[in-house]
Amino acid sequence: FADWNLTWHTENPDFTPCFQNTVLVWIPCIYLWVCFPVYFLYLRCHDRGYIQMSNLNKAKTALGLILWIVCWADLFYSFWERSQNIFQAPFFLVRPTVLGITMLLATFLIQYERIKGVQSSGVMTIFWLISLLCAVVVFRSKIINALNTDEVDAFRYATFCIYFILLLVQLILCCFPERPPLFSETVNDPNPCPEFSASFLSRITFWWITGLMVQGYRRPLEAKDLWSLNKEDKSEEIVPGLARNWAKEWAKTKRQPLNMLYSPKKQQKSSSSSGDVTEEAEALIIKPSQKSSEASLFKVLYKTFGPYFLMSFLFKAAHDLLMFAGPEILKLLINFVNNKAAPNWQGYFYTGLLFVCACLQTLILHQYFHICFVTGMRLKTAIVGVIYRKALVITNSARKTSTVGEIVNLMSVDAQRFMDLATYINMIWSAPLQVILALYLLWQNLGPSVLAGVAVMILLVPINAVMAMKTKTYQVAQMKSKDNRIKLMNEILNGIKVLKLYAWELAFREKVLEIRQKELKVLKKSAYLAAMATFTWVCAPFLVALSTFAVYVTIDKNNVLDAQKAFVSLALFNILRFPLNMLPMVISSIVEASVSLKRLRVFLSHEELDPDSIIRGPITDAEGCIVVKNATFSWSKNDPPSLNSINFTVPEGSLVAVVGQVGCGKSSLLSALLGEMDKKEGYVVVKGSVAYVPQQAWVQNATLEDNIIFGREMNESRYKRVIEACALLPDIEILPTGDKTEIGEKGVNLSGGQKQRVSLARAVYCNADVYLFDDPLSAVDAHVGKHIFEKVIGPKGILKNKTRVLVTHAINYLPQMDTILVMSDGEISEMGSYQELLKQDGAFAEFLRTYANAEQSVENSGNPSGKEGKPIENGALVNEAPGKLMHRQLSNSSTYSRDTGKTQHQSSTAELQKPLAEKNSWKLTEADTAKTGRVKATVYWDYMKAIGLFISFLSIFLFMCNHIASLASNYWLSLWTDDPVINGTQQYTNVRLGVYGALGISQGIAVFGYSMVVSIGGIFASRHLHLNLLHNVLRSPMSFFERTPSGNLVNRFSKEIDTIDSTIPPIIKMFMGSTFNVIGACIIILLATPIAAVIIPPLGLVYLFVQRFYVATSRQLKRLESVSRSPVYSHFNETLLGVSVIRAFEEQKRFIKQNDVKVDENQKAYYPSIVANRWLAVRLEYVGNCIVLFAALFAVIARNKLSAGLVGLSVSYSLQITAYLNWLVRMSSELETNIVAVERVKEYAEMEKEAEWSIEQTAPASTWPKEGKVEFRGYGLRYREDLDLVLKNINVTINGGEKIGIVGRTGAGKSSLTLGLFRINEAAEGEIIIDGINIAKIGLHDLRFKITIIPQDPILFSGSLRMNLDPFDQHSDEDIWRSLELAHLKNFVSSLPDKLNHECAEGGENLSVGQRQLVCLARALLRKSKILVLDEATAAVDLETDKLIQSTIKSQFEECTVLTIAHRLNTIMDYTRVLVLDRGEVVECGSPDHLLQEKGIFYSMAKDSGLV
């Protein structure tokens, strides 16, 4: 059967005929028969449709049948021989029989696959490949036989040749895919995913994505280039599966009767803030069966995704086993090199085996990763979909338990965690398996001394764990500082104008840098930790090897360290290093995912609305359109009822008003009719479709038209009528692109009244049977309200034949109602028509009598103010406290004053400015993303300069030292293993060990050194870059801030700086590390086999080409993915806000579909990026495998010149190179994506700056200005180069101590004058001279410190009150208190607990506007400069504060020059002079009395104010 002399110990190996005709025939047959049942079942379940017969298929089938005939020809030949009495061995009968049957099975499978729509089959390809390989061996031996012997079995030779050729043809045919199945989606898909139509070889090597990669290399990819998702990755396929399984699981837990007793109570408790704890406690109190009654989400996920994921389990196991083939083959190779007598072909055989193993390992590993990533992607899709669907049916009370933000987080953060976990989860069993296998093989190699190495590894695990914990605490601290810094930056950017006017930039720069200092301190600590971590991670394998070898050599003199033992052990230690480092990561990842799992489970187990509580029937002529009998409702199962025993009937087509005081349950009544509340008892019928207008309008982020049509089909005439009736025409005219205007999130670019009208139009357009209006008239002005009532809701409106229920506060519409329901305390107290209620003379009538008169008089006067008359609560209001009434009025008027306060003119200018501003900001943000393509080398150079060139080169030097030491130590090891063995021992063992240890320690020192240097360098760089950025931004002129959206700037300060702080240094470390590793490996291979120099450069070129190719596509895919991610979240956010509207209109299906589409859009970009990663990895690992192949091959060729030690060294290095190459591409593309941050931070260094802050030479004397004389000489000013002059030709001399008022209509250039005085804008012509000094010649701070302004809008910064008054700490406490006293704030501040250290909130929110204005006055009093500019507050300063400010200025600034920009003329009537500006020129100038006599512009203004 087997003869080793024939097979192995010979120059010309061969198998015995017996072996050839049994084992080599059975291998493919056994494979096919084992696969058949599994594969058959799989095909039965996964039917892709039917493929038509094609020539390819016919050829395959025909060849299969011919193969069967050939096999059985042999069989019949054997029978014929028997009849001739030639008796051959029995296998001549068995072999063709078995083969023939197998070929029939193969032919059957070819047809069955066609029927089930398989386009290219892996099972069959592998079968033909194995058969061919087995046949090749037989073929070779048959040829050798034929050459060596004379007699030949001609018939069998002929059949075998035919068999062999047919197998080859079958294999080649198998590489071509079939055409797509009939009726498949791909036919009508514009851009189908090529994956399923690709052949098997193309799929395992990921060749099918190459088309996309080429496209991405030629030009940046766009969304339209992406393929559609595969059917089984789409939301509509995945989500229902998970939803079904979850529903089953949930139903199981609900069935248990015991659970029902306490479930509601528990539900509520767990929703409180201390959710987890109470839940636990609850679980302990109640009987043990509780545990089983929790629906297990894990089980459900496993059920849904388990089967597909199981495949990954098999792949991973196969890969882990193959991983250990490398070291074992290495062992054989070293033995081969040592054994000079071994025949040459064995070396080539080992080399081939090594290469094949490596390639298989690559293919299997990446199939495994592909499955994991796709599972992760499906998991995310499913979880997002399930959360979305749940959010649409969850009760209001349950929704209150978690904020919108939290629910969106479930979708973003938690779903992402599952996605990340899917790739790791197999490590839980695979890591221990790898460790055990490695230890077993090491034990065989080195015996018990392995334990020393293991001990070192185990010791390092807790050290790593401790470091990870510490890092986490540092991270939290750093985040805290970062948040504070960003908050402060936000304020600085919002209040930048005030900072510039007061020249306070430096003070605030110091504040930011102080926080930054704290942050960098923490960063430094974590940098030291990171250095320690790198040190342990790089030195661990070395320490392990050192301790093991040391123990091994010193235990026993006869323990010889030869090449085989040393290098095989090293290879195994390298394998060990990965699982040990991964385990802590995996465990923390699992812990995070389990937390997420729990949060998801709690959310998915919330109560759902009962769809049957309200009977929604079609319209029949029963008692009425809405019938409510004895109904009691509450907001959730365990709340007390909010509506008690409600009885009423609304006949079809009537108009019903619901009135009552605040909080009496009017809105609740509508919610109850919509089925949003929990019905305790009673009977409710609503007939026909329902439309609902909520109190707070809900507007989607879509065009105005989409908002109104809301998923119905478009009907032009109806649409026009609706818009007209809802008074939307004027608004549409104002909007930039009419009703196609995109409306921002939450309707930001609409006023409150417009939103309300859009919401109303949506309801009217949908043409329902029942209309529920929740006070839609409160948010609009009176005349618009009247219009809407007449045209829409009232008896003559569009809806006059529908059933309408209107909750309202407006009394004047009540007489036109059919019925009025008066509610109080959740019950209907009275009901009837207007006349009946008056006749009943109840509370309602009383109330009407009191208020109707007041209403009437307002109506008659023609309502000049344009606001509604007092919006009054009706119902039993008479006995309500007046305070409450006042409150309600306020809340109402404040909602609608926004609508009226803007006159047509103003709002239109605002609208006109908006597109301009939008264009501008759009241009800027455009510039943000436009930086595609390669990163310029200058950016890296900039970063090196930021680190400091000395440190940069030091770190590179240390990197080199480390790698040289590492190479030297391994080279030394190879020399050691080549020491001759004398009497079973080696000489010099101690010297060898000592030097090895010393080299290792120096390597460790170098690692620690470069880790520290890079980390510290990184901190230097981030300090330097942040300082520059801050300085440059503060030095930018005002125009820059008006142009740049503050979001962009804040982004630079948060995201980019964060990247520079904490992402770039570790990436640089890993990048350098892997670069040097690869170079080192190449050097070692070249040392051992110099001939490899021929092969390494071409491989290097291939490598570079692949890498460049990949980075272009991957960068763009990453961008597309993040761009398409935000719509998912914002759509979800919107849905949560408008969920009751969506339910009322019964639009859930459409919204679910929208969400699915958005998720799929996102995954469409994510899927190619996963595959691109796999594509890259397979290509690179093949480059690596080629290096392994050549290293081994050249070693075998040169075996007589080489020592075993060098062979071991070069092959063990080349085995690692694949991992390094992979890592290197990862890191270089990471580095490229992240270094962009440096570029974006540097961008602002090149921006235009303001003038210098202070100039030594021209600095005026410290006492300047002495008298405060201001002269404007031919002064002109423009805002931007390309705009006209806003001020022209101004010649005015203001003497010291004069009080000047500046007046003029809006836009006359009053504020521009002050901007010029402070040089916020530099002069376009002419000059301003203060006390003989031209202000354009001195530093900005020198100027701005000497003039004081009290700005229009009082801006305070968060910080102490003292800091707001005196940020530079120049004044004593007495001074500050005195200024506060003069500003009338002393009493207020003394009453505060912290006095001067009272913390002001952001923007001074915790002080009233008047108080803020007074704080600004106190600032001015504290500075006490000769020139004071007063930009009079148009804002809400009450008259009292105004009087205080005026009197203080009169008394305190008596000898100062005061310029007041006046809006209210009465304040400046006693000033010395008044300047009247018009269109940027001075038209009148003189004392107020003089100007009044001239009867010019000033006179007409005074007349308007009623002063004349």
User: How confident is the model at residue 970, as a pLDDT?
Assistant: 85
User: How confident is the model at residue 281, as a pLDDT?
Assistant: 36
Whether 1067 shows a pLDDT value over 70: the answer reads yes
- Could you give the CA distance from residue 556 to residue 985 in angstroms, rounded to a whole number? 9
Q: Give the pairing of strands 1427-1431 and 1457-1461.
A: parallel
User: How confident is the model at residue 880, as a pLDDT?
Assistant: 31
User: How confident is the model at residue 265, as a pLDDT?
Assistant: 36
In contact, 63 and 170? CB cutoff 8 Å = yes
Distances in Å between the alpha carbon of 1121 and those of 1131, 1166, 1233, 1236?
16, 6, 14, 18
Whether 900 shows a pLDDT value over 70: the answer reads no
Top-confidence residue, 802 or 621: 802
User: How confident is the model at residue 667, as a pLDDT?
Assistant: 83
List pLDDT tens digits, range 1172-1181.
Answer: 888 988 988 8
Mean pLDDT is lowest, of 274-283, 736-745, 754-763, 779-788, for 274-283
List pLDDT tens digits, range 724-735.
Answer: 888 888 888 877
Structure token digits, residue 884 = 């409450």
In contact, 1400 and 1359? CB cutoff 8 Å = yes
Mean pLDDT is lowest, of 412-416, 882-886, 1312-1316, for 882-886
In contact, 1218 and 326? CB cutoff 8 Å = no
Whether 470 shows a pLDDT value over 90: the answer reads no
User: How confident is the model at residue 1234, as a pLDDT?
Assistant: 81
Residue 477's Cβ-count burial label (10 Å; 0-12, 13-18, 19+) is middle
User: How confident is the model at residue 746, as a pLDDT?
Assistant: 66
Q: In a 3-state reduction of DSSP, which class is residue 1444?
A: helix
Whether 866 shows a pLDDT value over 60: the answer reads no
Among residues 807, 897, 882, which one has the least CA distance to residue 850?
882
Distances in Å between the alpha carbon of 1452 and those of 1362, 1445, 1471?
21, 10, 15
Mean pLDDT rounded to a whole number for the chain: 80
List pLDDT tens digits, range 570-579.
Answer: 888 888 877 8
Angle of helix 1439-1452 relative to helix 1409-1423, nearest 10 degrees, comes to 10
Structure token digits, residue 28 = 């493919």
Diameter of the chain measured on Cα atoms: 146
Top-confidence residue, 234 or 17: 234
List pLDDT tens digits, range 1203-1255.
Answer: 888 888 888 888 888 778 878 877 887 888 788 788 888 877 777 777 777 78
User: How confident is the model at residue 865, as a pLDDT?
Assistant: 33
Average the pLDDT over 1365-1370 and give the result. Answer: 81
Angle, alpha carbons 739-744-746 (nearest 5°): 115
List pLDDT tens digits, range 1068-1105.
Answer: 888 888 888 888 888 888 888 888 888 888 888 888 88
List pLDDT tens digits, range 26-45.
Answer: 889 999 999 999 999 888 88
- Could you give the CA distance from residue 1076 to residue 1217 in angstroms, rounded to a whole number? 11
User: How confident is the model at residue 359, as a pLDDT?
Assistant: 92
User: How confident is the model at residue 33, as a pLDDT?
Assistant: 92
Average the pLDDT over 260-283 and give the result. Answer: 36
Mean pLDDT is lowest, of 284-298, 1351-1365, 1422-1436, for 284-298
User: How confident is the model at residue 1483, as a pLDDT?
Assistant: 84
Distance, C-alpha 1166 to centroid of its chain: 12
- Could you give the CA distance from residue 407 to residue 394 in angstroms, rounded to a whole number? 12
Predicted TM-score (pTM) of the model is: 0.76
Top-confidence residue, 376 or 185: 376
User: How confident is the model at residue 385, as a pLDDT?
Assistant: 92
Distances in Å between the alpha carbon of 389 and those of 138, 1151, 1155?
62, 9, 9
Whether 621 shows a pLDDT value over 70: the answer reads no
Structure token digits, residue 980 = 């001759």
Residues for the chain: how many in total? 1508
Beta bridge partners of 634: 678
Residue type, 1295: N
What percent of the chain lies above the pLDDT cut of 90? 8
Whether 916 shows a pLDDT value over 70: the answer reads no
Residues with Cβ < 8 Å from 323, sequence gap 6 or more? 361, 434, 575
**DSSP character at residue 53:** P
C-beta atoms surrounding 523 within 10 Å: 25
List pLDDT tens digits, range 337-391.
Answer: 888 888 888 889 999 999 999 999 999 999 999 999 999 999 999 999 999 999 8
Structure token digits, residue 857 = 């008089």
User: How confident is the model at residue 1403, as a pLDDT?
Assistant: 67
Among residues 1006, 1023, 1018, which one has the least CA distance to residue 951?
1018
Residue 151 pLDDT grade (very low, low, confident, very high; cuts 50, 70, 90): confident
User: How confident is the model at residue 256, as a pLDDT?
Assistant: 54
Top-confidence residue, 357 or 933: 357
- Could you give the CA distance from residue 273 to residue 271 in angstroms, rounded to a whole number? 6
- Could you give the CA distance from residue 450 to residue 61 in angstroms, rounded to a whole number? 57
- Could you give the CA distance from residue 1136 to residue 1008 in angstroms, rounded to a whole number? 52
List pLDDT tens digits, range 733-778.
Answer: 877 777 787 777 666 677 777 888 889 999 999 888 899 998 887 7
User: How confident is the model at residue 259, as a pLDDT?
Assistant: 38
Whether 889 shows a pLDDT value over 50: the answer reads no
